[in-house]
Amino acid sequence: MTGISQEEFIRDFSRAVSTDSAAVFAGAGLSRSSGFVDWKELLREIAVDLKLNIDKETDLVGLAQFHLNERKNRSRLNEKLIEEFTKDAIPTENHRILARLPLVSFWTTNYDKLIEDSIRAAGRNPDVKITQANLAQTRPGSDVVVYKMHGDISQPHEAVLTKDDYERYEVARRLFVENLQGDLVSTTFLFLGFSFTDPNIDYVLSRVRVLLGANQRTHYCILRQPMPPKKGGRSRAEYDYEKRHLELRIDDLKRFAIQTVLVNEYEEITDLLRAISKRAHRRNVFVSASAREYGKFGATRLNDFSRRLGRELIDRGYNLVSGFGQGLSDQVVLGALDGIYKTHKGNDSNRTIIRPFPRVRPGHGDQASSNMKHREDLISQSGAVIFVCGNRDYRGATRTSKGVLEEFRIAKALGRFPIPVGCTGYAAEEVWNEVFRDVDSLFPMKGVKTALRTLGNHAKNDDDLIAAIFKILERVTVD
């Protein structure tokens, strides 16, 4: 089988994501692990009504049409949609990773609300398009467009489900076709959650083939390889058949400029998405900084250093991510904004992600859990984390900031690069000691240790410290 390598896919799709030219087309497989059914399970009772065996059926859209033909209405189909897709479901890690990526759009044939709910949970504002009328309106302040190509559970009677629906699609939902055509030409798609048993895939791909014409750009699809036969399981002949079918599918997808990425298990998809997130966000830098006391640096120098750090992140082409915490964080943000106002290059609104920590009202949740989630969301959208100082007031006394240390643990767990300015003391110094002991595993690339040593040296001036920080950033963000 001739799919492209996972490394090539991660590199190229990450580049599309980081240049605001990537989209995801999600099929039923993305929602299945959240507890929602696939097409076969959705129509299992419908097949019983028709006195048919769902496991023997291959044309599931045709099966839905048979039911409509016999009943002369689709109320039973609508009931099944409501029954199956109004269940409580929790978004998967794949949903959460995708929701944090700066994608241009999501397209989906799914009826559930997991994609848009995940986007909102990530602190972003989706513009959800369910009907053609929605396409004529733009939601103010939206971050990403979600196209519900086949409808939504909120309007089951409008869901694309039967052959009649598919045959009328070009007329009834023509504006979706036109918008899809534009996105296919201007953005790089990842087709995710489709399988050979999903009836939507052939309909979607037929539209892709017609819409793309000569204006083809490379798109990607992730598919699982057939499982080898095991004792007591399926036969060698069944495995060989599936393998041959996959080879033909991969070759056929190339007609649409869709390159296939193969995985052995569906769990590998999460690893691929994590790698894409890490690579796509690598020029985003989270600054973890707080100070009630300023230590050996003193207030003037540490504030000036923090403003300079924020400004130079912008000047050198990086983007600032900040939780806008106590003390120094506001100085870093002010420096970044100063850099933005002086440069005015391109779309400056994407240069900062500034989200103050939410305050949980008494009786409405746990503040510590809320803070943890907030930190994870922000650090997941970053490629590196810079630590400066890190102390705060605990009942009238100055203590090392537990929040800054927590941010270090999160950065390590997510595989982000920690860059502690150890000479600023407190939490940053603790982080520096741990990072320096484990530098080879935290920074597999060469050329970091000397710069890191500078960041722990109290005798170095601000010019030396800034140079060392960006020396490390250059190493970890190299393509």
Active site residues: 150
Q: What share of the chain is helix, strand, coil (3-state, %, to 5)?
A: 55, 15, 35
Nearest Cα to 407, choosing from 421, 434, 432, 427? 427
Block residue for tokens 């982000």:
416
Residues ≥6 apart with Cβ < 8 Å to 173: 132, 149, 160
| CA quadruple 149, 152, 157, 163: dihedral sign | positive
| CA quadruple 342, 345, 346, 347: dihedral sign | negative
DSSP 201-255: HHHHHHHHHHHHTT----EEEEEEPPPPP-TTSS-HHHHHHHHHHHHHHHHHHGG
Give phi and psi for 24, each to the nearest 5. -120, 135
Separation in Å, CA 304 to CA 3, 451, 456: 52, 21, 19
345 touches 351 (CB < 8 A): no
21 touches 182 (CB < 8 A): no
